[in-house]
Chains A and B, each alone.
Chain A
Amino acid sequence: MLVKFLSNDLPRSRLLAAVLVAIVLGLLLAPFLFSGARPLNTAATICIYIVLVASYDLLLGYTGIVSFAHTMFYGIGAYGIGIALASVDEPTWAVALTGLALALVLTVALALVIGLFALRVRAIFYAMITLAVASSFAVLASQLSDFTGGEDGRTFSVPELLSPGFTLFENEVFGRAVDGRVITYYIVFFGCVLLFLFLLRLVNSPFGRVLQAIRENEFRAEALGYRTVVYRVWANVLAALVAALAGALMALWLRYVGPKTSLGFEVMTDILLIVVIGGMGTMYGAVVGATLFILAQNYLKSLMGQASEALAGIPGLAAALHPDRWMLWLGVLFILSIYFFPVGIVGKLRMRRFLKR
């Protein structure tokens, strides 16, 4: 049963399995394990980043395509829900779903066009073109302020079921009132689980095997009779769709869309870092990587702040340990991990198991 859910792609490492179970249980029970808004926020962000990163891994790790437009699709999904709900007085599910549908149509169209345009050529060309298109899109979103709210973005209200004022039960459940936030959290959580299982199914299907064949040796895959362009374009479209759905969930959770949280280049570098550190070409890498990254982002920063204050006497080090500079250390870690363990955390764990045998 469980094996079938996971599409026969088991963790293949006892330690990894334990970590994964811990993460999933932690996320599942997050509203009841922790109190307060911040842990729940962290948990929701982890869920969404897992899906976002896993969908990027479909491109980078499984197909060998480097795309910088992933945040663009993520942003389209977020803006679809956001603009739709912000433009009406009475937020309803129909409005939200219409916005989402429009966003998905735009996503498919854009992904198809960019893919057909640029994926015929070398990987490097695609990387450059997506970088150019995505940054123009981000500029466009921040400048068309009548429509998107500009740099400030848009806040909007969600359907009543999801609003914080709504409570499902009279009594508290395990010491927590089941309010709209908790319901939203579970929508995000189960949405992300479904999307993740879909991606896992996808990479373990014959389609996914062809993608891996293209990654390993495109010429050979073509010689075997697979039309590699078609497969790559499809991979691109599917990854974009999942990213857009993740963006929609993020918008629903934050009740806000803005260029910084959804379209910014920082989000793209975050995704890249997580994929590489977690492990390219393994869906579980996204889970481990995203969890570590978001936890570090939320809690390590304050640690760095303390270290920076403690070292205030030494000018260079204090500045380098400033919480805002944590990307510096991550960047160094990123470069080192590409050199010394390109398989990432998950790959390393699996390798250890393999060597033990």
Chain B
Amino acid sequence: MKPGTVTAPLPIAQTAPVDTPLPAARRDVAPLLLVPLLALAALPFVSFPTWITLTVAGLAMGMMIFIMASGLTLVFGLMNVLNFGHGAFVSVGAFTATLVLLPMRDWLDADSLAVNLGALGLAVLLAMTVTALLGWAFERVLIMPVYGQHLKQILITMGGMIVSEQLINVIWGAEQLPLPVPAALRGAIFLGDAAIEKYRLMAVVVGLLVFAGMFLTLNRTRIGLLIRAGVENGDMVEALGYRIRRLFVAVFAAGSALAGLGGAMWGLYKETLSASMGADITVMIFIVIIIGGLGSVGGCFIGALLMALVANYAGFLAPKVALVSNIILMIAILLWRPAGLYSKSRG
């Protein structure tokens, strides 16, 4: 604002032309620095090749957790619904992937990356379709009747989780299921002395792609604009004439599909599947979105990487500490920022 125009009757009309960009939100970079700082801090304690291996392993794990958690945090931000049954989509995704992967064993064992990836892509596609449909049904049947009632939401989604876990047992049996990694992604490549497992490398790439895709969708498209506006102030978006309910269902289904993708990847990473994997992963997902700040995709990304890196470093340096490293990290972050790294309610 120019000095001297303060007393004019309509200063805004004079000083701010229509096409002046809105003042940008203040960027909060401190959390962004945490991941590189953590990685650097671990460097003096381990030899360099080990450090590379551990860091890549941590990044891969973090990316997978991010893929699974991102949908949940977005759903929470948009509609204030916390889905305790999110882990169900993870395990359903993983088990659905076996429907393709186990019959197509020949393709997986073939010594060609293209054929391997073809089978993998098909499996992932099926997993994502099924979990998206399941998410849609889950939202319609279970969550819609209990909007705005947190207590019932927690209980209902918990019930949904129990039922879907049991249904997996009914359909696929209660035993653990082996899940082979495609031939071309087995083993490791060596950078000097550092061994990097190929599958982890692929997980990092997929994770980055998903993050980039989400980032671009949220920041560069119209639908992303609506989602961000909905997270900021849902009532206002609705008042402007957008059907936020429909948007929400779409986001819920997309989030479930991502959880399914993450579940399939996680299953291949662990190479065995059990119906209880969803419950175990729910715990990790929760820690990540608490660290990141409920409702923040960026915070969720950083939180996932932080948690996975800490788990990997601690697992190598002090295995006993690694059992509680997640909790220690969470407490440390919450002491610094009580509502998580990025939170819309912070301030």
A residues touching B (Cβ–Cβ < 8 Å)?
60, 64, 66, 117, 121-125, 127-129, 131-133, 135-136, 139-140, 143-144, 265, 269, 272, 276, 316, 319-320, 322, 324-325, 327-328, 330-332, 334-335, 338-339, 342
Contact = CB atoms under 8 A, between A and B. Distances in A.
B137 to A, nearest CB: 13
Given A131-B283, A328-B170, A136 B326 contact: yes
A11 to B, nearest CB: 25
10 contacts: A125-B294, A127-B84, A128-B289, A131-B282, A135-B280, A136-B323, A136-B324, A328-B169, A334-B155, A338-B152
Contacts of B320: 143-144
A245 to B, nearest CB: 26
B158 interface: yes
Interface string B170-206: 1101100000000000000000000000000000000
B286 interface: yes
B334 A117 contact: yes
Contact of B159 (A117, A133, A338): A338
Interface of B: 82, 84, 142, 145-146, 150-152, 154-156, 158-160, 162-163, 166-167, 169-171, 173-174, 279-280, 282-283, 286-287, 289-290, 294, 320, 323-324, 326-327, 330-331, 334, 338-339
A335 B163 CA distance: 9
Contact of A272 (B146, B158, B169): B158
A259 to B, nearest CB: 13
Contact of B170 (A144, A269, A319, A335): A319
Main secondary structure of the interface of B (DSSP, over half): helix
A129 B331 CA distance: 10
A123, A135, A316 pick with most chain B CB within 10 angstroms: A135
Nearest to A123: B150
A107 B159 CA distance: 28
B150 A124 contact: yes
A324 B169 contact: yes
Contacts of A319: 170-171, 173
Nearest to B145: A339
A272 B170 contact: no
Nearest to B286: A128
A125 B334 CA distance: 12
Nearest to A276: B155
Nearest to B282: A131
Given A135-B283, A335-B159, A122 B170 contact: no
Closest 10 CB pairs of A and B: A328-B166, A331-B162, A331-B163, A335-B159, A334-B159, A135-B283, A128-B286, A136-B327, A319-B170, A132-B287
A269 B158 contact: yes
Nearest to A60: B151
Given A127-B154, A136-B324, A335 B142 contact: yes
Contacts of B169: 324-325, 328
A269 B289 CA distance: 23
A128 B82 CA distance: 10
A64 B331 CA distance: 24
Contact of A338 (B84, B156, B173, B289): B156
